[in-house]
Structure 1
Amino acid sequence: MNKYIVVFCAGMLAVLGFAPFSVYPLAVFALALLFFQWQHARGKWMAARLGFAFGFGLFIAGIGWLYVALHDYGGMHALLAAAAIALFAAVLALFPAAAGYAQARLRARFGGREGMAAALLLVLLMPALWVLLEWLRGLLFTGFPWLVLGYTQAADSPLAGYAPLLGVYGVSLIVAVSAGLLALLWQLRWTVQGKIAFGVLLTLWLGGVALRVVEWTQPQGEPLKVSLLQGNIGQGVKFDENNLVGTLETYRRLVQGSDARLIVMPETALPLLRHDLPDNYMHLLRNHAIANAGDLLIGLFERERGLYYNSVVTLGSSNSQSYRKNHLVPFGEFIPLRPVLGWLINDLLHIPMSDQARGGERQQVLHVAGQRVAVNICYEDVFGEEIIRYLPEATLLVNVTNDAWYGKSHAAMQHNQISQMRALETGRMMLRATNTGVTSIIAADGRVLQMLPQHEEGALTGMAQGYSGSTPYVRWGNAAMLGLLALMLAASWWLRQSKFPERAADK
């Protein structure tokens, strides 16, 4: 079979490691296949093409749900929507292509080393460059760190134990090193060197098991009752004036049906500007929260000085507070290079409230229901390095989102898996209130404790525990992971000068 087809299929196979499938070993096997092909590629451009094929398979299968947002709700023509997704997947595939090109170029500079020196590059150079390019993908052009392979390991895999230490990119590094060791084991078979490779692989995974039992943070205070609301308002009618009264009534009913101390509504649950909401409606909600001796978090839009903000505001026993979304989605929430690309929104897409302003980078945590809550809105929980800005002060994490844009696709489950990783990294519970799902309560160890069925109206009621303290990732951020990458690249360079005996099979 054509090697490009093989790695393309391997990229698609890797998607099965993510939710809702969560067959986490497949991410390791898929990447091992790519590394094996890289090692046998003839030249740097072939390696780049192999990386591109793998990446295109990964992204075309993994983010195909964007079609629903572009076509069904954005009004884009079907062919244009399909072409846009293919183009986006191709752009994202340039990152694994760059990793393939870089590793081949560096290996060539090592003088075409054979034997163990070349074999060890599988577990040093290739994994380091793979993760470096994943990290850059999450950083450049506002970042798109979706489908980072580390997420496949949250939260059932033994490798999830590395998340509080190194974050998702560190977990991705362990995945990549495991893939390199697996490819090396395939090459060496059950020789002495092969047994060593297997031993290292086993040690990495057993190390993750040992780390899973470490309690990096400590419970603070008494557990509190929480209620996470899921209105199940279809995206097609969410901003329809004819549906407004029904939406307000849905959330009034859900709020008044809850006796929880902390009640959370989804992102933009009330599709009106804050100052346009009826006073009697807001008083009713506030009085109910006060009667529960607690608070209500409401997702809505705010306008200030002609600027629009995607916000979460508080009502209830505590002082009025708000959080405004800081990390906006390009084209969905703001228009980059408006003079050049403004036509894309005006002529091709029809997305309401698509030109929003950013909230501040260093906002205050919300003091509600006896907790210090770090709120993140929708896409913001994809950026772990931004979540830890609010730690260790915050005792709870809350994500409000609206994944109704993506219909009944896998997007919502992938998003919930990302929130599981944030809980692992921070040692904090994550409460998710969403419009159509996945509404869930996630433990500090990343396990989903409770979850509402998707695309059903309901309120998820359960107990939440605040936590104090800092995981190593909260203290270091991505610095430790980047330090490991630097050491691995330095070790790869050292191999250039080393003298390893060649195996008989290599002579």
Structure 2
Amino acid sequence: MAGSSGCISALSFAPYDLSYLAFYGPVICFWLWERVSITKAFITGCLYTVTLLSTAGTWLYLSPNQLADMPMPLAVLFTVLIIAVVSLCMGAAGAIYVLLRARSLLSRACLLFPSLWWLAEWSREWFLSGYPWFNIGYSQLDMPLIGWASVFGVNGVAYLVAMSAALIKVALFYTRYRLIAMSITIIAWTSGMFLQTISWTKEIGNPIQIALVQPNQIYSALSNKDKWQRAVELNRQLLSKHQLVVWPETEFSMHAVTPQPSHTTELNKHIWQTVSFSLNNTILPFATSTAQYSDFIAQLETITASQDKSILMGMNFRDHLNNLTYNSVLAINATDKAIYDKRHLVPFGETIPLRQSLAPLWQLLNVHEDTFNPSRTPTPLLPASEYLAGVSICYEAAFGSEVAEALPGAHFLITLTNDGMFDGTAQPEQHLQIARMRAIETGRWVARAARTGITAFIAPNAVVTKRTSQQKFATLSATIQPLQGITPFVYWRNTPFLLFTLTIIGWFAFNRR
């Protein structure tokens, strides 16, 4: 039963979206944890997570296989090991539940069980550098409980899913608790519906016209010069009708170095053009090839020279002299050129955890060097026309607290991604589902540019207003309203619930004595 609980709950995520099946897993876990020993509770918690991730994330092995160039058998083995380790979070929740199984059944269902569930889901956001996919809260985007996301985020929704599941079990099998269990559940759900009617943010300025580009590999066979020229012409065409154009993750490459006296000899071997970029609000000189500057960057500067026009482009930003590569976004507008680097790299994809500590193992397994280096830009804000955009790159969109760091400054959110290696799997739909949660958590529009799809505009209430199909070239246009202000979640993030869950666990531990 523990194994089947994860498999069935996996159907609550995109692309199946059978939201009501999300409750099956917590119901089974609650029922088992009420009856079994500590060891068996640990095992059932692990089994739930293992089967959930294995069923919903059949594509997970592609990250180490495609990004880290691991051979297929090794990539599958690594994925299995990662899933097994991540499952320890829910396994520990089950063991602690049995250890603290005291007080009344109703208090366990309302407080202890969902608190431990919240703690397990939250732990996955930082354990092994973070693995938050398939948080059960994402399954409720089209259900009444989603209203709570603007207050307590996706983990708060997960708490309420776990609590509702436990109370359903109580109501079905314990007559004396039925009325109060049903009442608590109804209050939680109707409150969620009410919270959806509250607008935590307000309009600022005029609407902005945005164009998102979904290239779908049409430039992959071209030389850099031809690719740049076509991109320049498309940007020119789109900016004639839009204020902002957004390209997806890693669509271009920027070859640049940081000019320093020690590099003078090396720089003299090439023809370089000095360009100034804003990095962490500080203007710094960089050097790039004259050809790239004249054929690409300079032309984009000319296009955006008119007032309030901007281009955001996903770039591999390569510093050859320092042997560093960043997964970046370059913003070009009338007055500035600014860079944002990806902060949260994909483990066993873009970066290898414990690279130095386990160096002999990685060498033995022939795992290549990190694809990208850690970010130079801790603040995820970039100028976008006359406004500020909160920027996230691909995997970063899965971390609600990190996305919220762009607020209150950001007037809308921009997500750039490259899901091309996952074409034909459920990943693009699931990634879009995650972006929808970020919209309602922050109370902001989200403009999502994907290399092969799904490119989309998402309203602050998590409704997808426009989207493309996958694996085709497309440009997607929309006029969105910049917003200011913050939701309660942006203000306090996970801190209140963390203190609450630790207090509940401490209270049960004290009363068990």
- TM-score category (smaller protein): 0.7 to 0.9
Partner in structure 1 of residue 19 of structure 2: 24
Look up the equivalent residue of 2:144 and give its one-letter code: P
Is contact 2:64–2:349 with CA below 8 Å preserved after alignment? no
1:209 — aligned with what?
A: 193
Q: For 1:91 and 1:486, how far apart are their aligned partners in 2?
A: 23
Unpaired segments ≥5 residues, structure 2: 257-287
Amino acid paired to 2:195: L
Q: Out of 399, 408, 414, which is 2:430 matched to?
A: 414
Structure 1 position 29, deviation (Å): 2.4
Q: Is the 8 A contact 1:233 1:247 kept in 2?
A: no
The aligned counterpart of 2:85 is 91
Taking the aligned partners of 2:303 and 2:368, their CA distance within structure 1 comes to 34
State the AA in 1 paired with 2:479. M
Partners of 1:161 and 1:272 in 2: CA distance: 42
**In the alignment, what sits opposite 2:154?**
168
Looking at structure 2, the residues matched to 453 and 433 of structure 1 have their Cα atoms a distance apart, in angstroms, of 12
Listed one character per residue, the Cα deviations across residues 224-271 of structure 1 (whole Å, up to 9, x for unaligned) are 11001111128xx95x8x664565455345423312110011111113
Residues 1:133 and 2:120 aligned together: yes
Q: Decide whether the 8 Å contact of 1:165 with 1:425 is kept in 2.
A: yes
* Distance change in 2, residues 1:86/1:335 (3 Å): closer
**Shift of the alpha carbon at 1:459?**
0.8
Distance 1:159 1:250 in 2: 46
1:391 corresponds to:
407
Runs of 5+ unmatched residues, structure 1: 1-5, 498-507
Q: What displacement does 1:173 show?
A: 0.8
For the pair 1:181 / 2:167, whether they are aligned, the reply is: yes
SS in 2 for 1:290: coil
Runs of 4+ residues over 6 Å off in structure 1? 343-347, 349-353
The CA RMSD measured in Å over matched residues stands at: 2.5
TM-aligned CA deviation for residue 272 of structure 1: 4.3
Distance 1:121 1:337 in 2: 39
Q: Is the 8 A contact 1:228 1:432 kept in 2?
A: yes
Go from structure 1 to structure 2 and tell me whether the alpha carbon gap of 1:486 and 1:295 turns closer, same or farther (over 3 Å shift).
same
Amino acid at match of 1:202: I
Aligned equivalents of 2:440 and 2:366: distance in 1?
Answer: 37
SS of equivalent residue, structure 1 residue 89: helix
SS at match of 2:374: coil
**Matches of 1:63 and 1:344, distance apart in 2:** 26
Deviations 1:276-331 (A, max 9, x none): 53522223333333358411011112245613222111123232212111222223
Please, which moves more after superposition, 421-430 or 325-334? 325-334
Tell me how far apart the structure 2 counterparts of residues 278 and 230 of structure 1 sit (CA, whole Å).
24
Deviation at 1:343, TM superposition (A): 6.3
Aligned to 1:503: none
Q: How far apart, in 1, do the equivalents of 2:496 and 2:187 lie?
A: 20
Output the amino acid matched with 2:100.
L
Quote the Cα distance in structure 2 between the aligned partners of 1:387 and 1:90: 27
The number of residues matched between the two structures is 476
User: TM-score, normalising length from structure 1?
Assistant: 0.87
Aligned partner of 1:438 among 430, 454, 457: 454
Tell me the residue number matched to 2:348.
331
Farther-moved stretch of structure 1 (306-315 vs 245-254): 245-254
- Aligned equivalent of 1:377: 393
1:122 is displaced (CA, Å) by 2.5
Q: Provide the C-alpha distance between the structure 1 equivalents of 2:512 and 2:23, rounded to a whole number of angstroms.
A: 27
Relative to total residues, which structure has the larger helix share, 1 or 2?
1
Opposite residue 202 of structure 2, the aligned amino acid is Q
Amino acid at match of 2:201: T
The residue aligned with 1:257 is 237
After TM superposition, give the deviation of residue 487 of structure 1 in Å: 4.4
Please say if 1:151 is aligned against 2:133. Answer: no
- Within a 5 Å distance, the mapping from 1:59-74 to structure 2 comes to 59-71=53-65, 74=68
> Which amino acid letter does the alignment assign opposite residue 231 of structure 2?
Y
CA separation of 1:272 and 1:349: change in aligned 2, threshold 3 A: farther
**Match in the other structure for 1:451:** 467
Q: Secondary structure at the match of 1:376?
A: strand
Post-superposition CA distance 1:153-200 (Å, at most 9, x none)? 12x111110011111111111111111111212221xx3421221121
2:35 aligned partner:
40
After TM superposition, list the pairs within 5 Å mapping 1:300-311 onto structure 2: 300-304=315-319, 306=322, 307-311=324-328
Q: Mark the CA change 1:479 to 1:317 in structure 2 (over 3 Å): closer, same or farther.
A: same
Provide the rounded CA distance (Å) in 2 between the counterparts of 1:344 and 1:378: 28
Residue in structure 1 matched with residue 184 of structure 2 by the alignment: 200
Find 2:313's aligned residue among 280, 298, 302: 298
Given residue 186 of structure 2, which amino acid in structure 1 is its aligned partner? L
Write the distance in 2 (CA, Å) between the matches of 1:403 and 1:376: 14
| Per-residue deviation, residues 42-89 of structure 1 (Å, max 9, x unmatched) | x10011111111111011112221233444565433333322222222
